[in-house]
Structure 1
Amino acid sequence: MSDIPFIHLFSTDTNKYVYDVNSNDIIKVDDIAYDYFHLLLSGFEPDECKYLLTNEYDSSAITKSIAFIQEIEKAELYFSKTRPQEIALFCCENSMKYTYSNYINQLTLEVTQRCNLNCRYCIFSGIYEQSRPHTKKDMTWKIAKSGLDFMFQYGGRDPNDSILLRDRFKPKEKSDFTIGFYGGEPLLNFELIQKCITYCRQNAPTDKKVGFVITTNGTLLSDDIIEYFIANNVAITISFDGPQNIHDKFRIHANGKGTHQEALNAIKRINYVARKMNLPETLYCLINCLVLGGFHFRELFDYFVSLENLLDNEYVHFDLVINTLTGGLKKWNDCYPEEQLEKPAGYEELLEEYKSACLAGKYKNDNNHTFYFDILNIFAYNNLYFDLHARTRHQFSDENEILETSHPGCICKLGSRRPFLTVDGRILPCERVFSENPSFYVGRIDTGLDLNKIKSMLDDFTNSTIEECRDCWCYRICDVGCINDNYEEGVFDARKKMDKCRQVRARRHSELVGMMKLLEQDPTVLDHYNEVAVS
């Protein structure tokens, strides 16, 4: 279909639109143009299309509409026929080597495989075949130091990558690269964390600013540790799943006791220490909320709204990330048939409330909305148009046509964005992949990243659908997802990727329709997304 415009058609109740892949823009068209494009996409030649249109439209109107289309195409504004010639994440071998020699964004250290909890849905809980169970292994200083030295040499942020900044309190001063501390429960090896931070302060290149992040269940956070993290600019993420009946079903001690109160106390303790230190700027922290099923989203939403005084005050601001573990729900129900969980209910209700709030202008002025609407925005954020709006406004704003060598926007640069260093020195693409699957090993810290292995993984992902991708209208706005989701028993499975492709196209079409329905009512209704950029 390379001889016809690279487009996708969709319509609302009142208007018809063309999503133009090359310009990554959305154009409202009249009925004649829409039907003309529809006939082209159906395989008819241009002259055949004109003839068939005479059954419904006046000849002069057809001529005028098609002339307008051709004029726009000739001006190289829209409706280009260009398709990618080569599907590749890197244009050449040198480009790949340069990226992996200069732009490793974050190295996450598995400082320990020990954990003081026994969370029932955890990837390390023993129910996932290709992931390790909890062990008593700690990372040695030798491996940690090698990881830090690796980042001193290769750490950096690609200036061509955009970042996601949705929160007004999120620090605007970026580090050049980041060291993350992960587990298990990383605070069980706090001494190593301190040693790493001290080493970075004393030995990092003077032209590189190092950032630090830690993900913790919060149960071991003391006032002294919090004060240490604040003094050393360590961004704290607390794992906290909301109300007690949700949190305590999954996040438990080995004896079955829930940890809700301990996690909530950690949030209160952070507030206390921040107030005591009288910080000159608001302290930014993060809550990572993982949910499976068997609950109502309204209950979860109302609970976080009720924590306003803890989550948003002059001393501390907690951003919130909601992750619904759909794959984990299936695994749970397979492993625990006596405790079957239904999919979470009530999400559509919150989305409709969010749309109404947008149309009511609740987000047009940053100072015009309350904490309630901030939380509502967060709940809708990952699932309603923000990604699509950002991608069709920002991501390819400097390109009128797809580059000859390019890649759909659906796969990360494996081992570049957030490589994960295990306690025994193996490097994985990130902390989310199955750690016991050799297919995901992309290097060792003593020998470095294996670029041949990374290229092979990228090629498997790309080549499995290369012909389909070349002509897919979702090329620019694809989010087929993590490469981890496309492996079956350690082997890349092209069928799983194709299934996801079909799902993504259906969802993106629906999102385009829904987004334009909102914009038809008020063209500025989503302007609060304009500062969002997606990487």
Structure 2
Amino acid sequence: MLSLTETPVFSTEDTRFQEISNLIVKVTNRCNLNCSYCYENIVQKGQDMDLKTFKNLVDKVMKNSVQNRINFILHGGEPTLIGIEWITAAVEYAKQQAKIYGKSTTFGIQTNMIALTDKLINTFIDLNVHISCSLDGPHYLKGAMRDYAQKAYQCYQLARKLDANVGILMTINHSNYQYFTEIIDWLKNELQVREFKANVITSVGAGYNLPPLSAEQVFTAQKDILNAMIKTEGKEIVEENLKVELLRFFDNNRRETLCAEKTCGAGKRVVGITPDGSLLPCGRFQWDDYNFQLGHLSEKINSQVAENFQKSVQNFHSLVPESWYDCESCSARKICSYGCQAFIVRSKEKANVECLPTKMKYRFFEENRDKLLPVVNSIREKYDESRQPESDYPDYQDEITYRDYQDYSDQFYKDSTYTDGGHGW
């Protein structure tokens, strides 16, 4: 640390972005829904990111990152509310700058779908912006929590009709955890979906005062999904998180997972950006999480700013160390992704809600090894495990890439075969 008498050394290089490959761009803090379990405290009227701020972000990452591929995920709030002109200008500028610096780009957007129009969908197709939609089940599901689910379903069907690349990101929550057998039938039969992602909700943001899901509730949903995968030998339906864990379970040569590394890519390979240009460790913080901000895009870079950034990242990863109390001796570490440090530190209980369910899954894997092997063989036939991950963000995911590390997952894309003009993960 600099002493009081030392003068910060100014630099033209922004080392904060040196290893960054994934940018979670919160283009607005507005939303047209009010989901009770949203991990942000979203407002109906709020702030949009100025295009100048986005261009500044692009310039910094293109100039300073050593990574050859930069992944942009447009998040919010509801990112479609910022408008088609902004999105078009932003994507085109990023691609232009990437070409200048000899890099490639990928673009995705996480949306609740209800504001999508033919024009907007076709723009995404033209720009190669891949769509990840939030759906937690059919609108007729008892106790459905996702507002306007029928409208989202209709927009999903419209996007598919227009041949857009659309993935489905679900949550396991209090209202749907016991209905995943029915949900999977709906995915297969009505949406003709073969693969999806289901993340476990955590009581943060708008859902801060919601009781956390119990381990039994989480495992109820995941066991129903596993049984559906077993029933079809992985040929008709696959859940992405479980796919990754199954591959880890059956492959003894896999490298250690997050339980051994005790960290993720937040603030290292991944960074979140708020509408006003503040930097966050990842996208799983809300725009006004001031205690976890790492700095600001507009800061003039000097040695002190760079040091403060690194210290903030290290401090974030060091919080709540008791979450690791039995990791070294836990047999489930073979399949574990640890959970989410952002959600742990933001929650009231400061607890990893995925720890016990992971142990329960591991026992299920052990007890059903013979039944699960055909599922894994089917997955291996379809997915090229030799590919390197193109992004490290858990709220975003495509259909074909296996990842050892899940540094961000609140997005899910159906395909991952493009570079600058096709989305990969």
TM-score of the alignment, normalized to the shorter chain, above 0.5: yes
The aligned runs of 1:394-409 (5 Å cut-off) are 396=254, 408-409=260-261
Distance 2:324 2:138 in 1: 45
Distance in 2 separating the partners of 1:482 and 1:261: 30
C-alpha displacement of 1:356 = 4.5
Q: Which amino acid aligns with 2:293?
A: Y
Q: If the length of structure 1 is used for normalisation, what is the TM-score?
A: 0.57
1:179 match: 72
Tell me the SS of whatever aligns to 1:210: strand
1:188 to 78, 81, 90: 81
Contiguous gaps of at least 5 residues in structure 2: 1-12, 386-401, 406-425
- 1:534 counterpart = 2:410: no
The one of 36, 39, 52 equivalent to 1:120 is: 36
Q: Distance in 2 between matches of 1:475 and 1:99?
A: 33
Change (3 A) 1:509 1:247: closer
Query: What residue in structure 1 maps to residue 390 of structure 2?
Result: none
1:16 matched residue in structure 2? none
What are the residue-to-residue correspondences of 1:114-263 with 2, within 5 Å?
114-124=30-40, 131=41, 133-155=43-65, 157=67, 176-190=69-83, 191-204=85-98, 205-246=100-141, 249-252=144-147, 259-263=148-152
Residues 144 and 247 of structure 1: CA distance in aligned 2, closer, same or farther (over 3 Å): farther
Cα displacement string for residues 435-480 of structure 1 (whole angstroms, at most 9, x for unaligned residues):
4333311221123761121122234456x67896666666665433
Aligned-partner residue type, residue 146 of structure 1? N
Query: How many residues align structurally?
Result: 358
Take 2:347 and 2:187, find their aligned partners in 1: how far apart are those partners? 38
1:451 corresponds in structure 2 to: 310
Change in CA separation of 1:293 and 1:104 when aligned onto 2, cut-off 3 Å: same
Could you say which residue in structure 2 is the equivalent of 1:441? Answer: 293
CA separation in 2, counterparts of 1:435 and 1:356? Answer: 41
Per-residue deviation, 1:332: 6.2
**TM value normalised by structure 2:** 0.70
1:200 shift after superposition? 1.6
For the structure 1 residues 102 and 344, does the alpha-carbon distance in structure 2 shift closer, same or farther, using more than 3 Å as the test? closer
Cα deviation digits, residues 234-285 of structure 1 (max 9, x gap): 0111222221134984333xxxxxx2232122122213322xxxxxxxx532
How far apart in 2 are the matches of 1:348 and 1:425? 37
Tell me the CA shift for residue 484 of structure 1: 2.2
CA apart distance, 1:487: 2.5
CA deviations over 1:166-195 (Å, ceiling 9, x no partner)? xxxxxxxxx811112122221221222222
Other structure's SS at 1:202 match: helix
Match for residue 293 of structure 1?
A: 174
Once the two structures are superposed, residues 104-140 of structure 1 have per-residue CA deviations (whole angstroms, 9 ceiling, x without a partner) of 121122212222223333234xxxxxx4644421111
2:241 maps to what in 1? 382
Q: Distance in 2 between matches of 1:153 and 1:267?
A: 37
Cα 1:525–1:518 shift into 2, 3 Å: farther
**2:198 corresponds to which letter in structure 1?**
I
Q: Do the aligned residues in 2 keep the contact of 1:182 with 1:216 (CA within 8 Å)? A: yes
For 1:109, the equivalent position in structure 2 comes to 25
Structure 1 pair 521/197, CA: closer, same or farther in 2 (3 Å)? closer
Deviation at 1:290, TM superposition (A): 2.8
Secondary structure in structure 1 of the residue aligned to 2:270? coil
- Rg larger in structure: 1
Q: 1:323 to 1:225 in 2, by over 3 A?
A: same
Classify the secondary structure of the residue corresponding to 2:378: helix
Q: Could you report, residue by residue, the CA deviation over 1:31-63 in whole angstroms, capped at 9, with x for unpaired residues? A: xxxxxxxxxxxxxxxxxxxxxxxxxxxxxxxxx
1:372-521 matches, cutoff 5 A: 373-374=236-237, 377-378=238-239, 381-383=240-242, 386-387=244-245, 389-390=247-248, 393=251, 396=254, 408-447=260-299, 450-460=309-319, 477-487=335-345, 496=350, 500=352, 504=355, 510-519=360-369
The answer to whether the 8 A contact 2:144-2:175 is kept is: no
Measured on the aligned residues, the alpha-carbon RMSD in Å equals 4.0
Matched position secondary structure for 1:526 = helix
Provide the rounded CA distance (Å) in 1 between the counterparts of 2:144 and 2:24.
28
Within-5 A mapping of 1:66-105: 101-105=17-21
Task: Give the 3 Å change call, closer, same or farther, for CA 245–416 of structure 1 in structure 2.
Answer: farther
2:14–2:64 contact (8 Å) kept in structure 1: no
How big is the shift at 1:152? Answer: 0.9
SS in 2 for 1:451: helix
Match of 1:325 in 2: 201
- Which deviates more from structure 2 when the two are superposed, residues 387-396 or residues 447-456? 387-396
Cα shift readout 1:50-78 (whole Å, capped 9, x = no counterpart): xxxxxxxxxxxxxxxxxxxxxxxxxxxxx
Structure 1 residues 249 and 451, CA, compared in 2 at 3 Å: closer, same or farther?
same
Q: Closer, same or farther in 2 for the Cα pair 1:432/1:352, shift >3 Å?
A: closer
The aligned amino acid for 2:175 is G
**Aligned twin of 1:271:** 160
Distance 2:227 2:316 in 1: 42
Q: Write the distance in 1 (CA, Å) between the matches of 2:49 and 2:96.
A: 21
| Cα separation, partners in 2 of 1:408 and 1:215, compared to 1, 3 Å | same
Letter paired with 1:303: W
Unmatched 5+ residue regions in structure 1?
Answer: 1-96, 125-130, 158-174, 253-258, 275-282, 313-318, 336-341, 364-368
Work out whether residues 134 and 184 of structure 1, in 8 Å CA contact, stay in contact via their aligned partners in 2.
no
After superposition, the C-alpha distances for 1:149-174 in whole angstroms (9 at most, x for unaligned) are 122124465xxxxxxxxxxxxxxxxx
Rounded Cα–Cα distance in structure 2 between residues aligned with 1:394 and 1:444? 43
- Given that residues 160 and 166 in structure 2 are in contact (C-alpha distance below 8 angstroms), is that contact kept between their aligned partners in structure 1? no
Checking the alignment, whether the CA contact within 8 Å between 2:278 and 2:295 is kept in structure 1 is yes
- Residue 250 of structure 1 aligns to a residue whose secondary structure is coil
- Cα distance between partner residues in 2 of 1:472 and 1:346: 21
Q: For residue 173 of structure 2, what is the amino acid of its counterpart?
A: L
The answer as to whether partners of 1:518 and 1:525 remain within 8 angstroms in 2 is: no
8 Å contact 1:411–1:481 — kept in the other structure?
A: no
8 Å CA contact 1:111–1:423 kept in 2: the answer is yes
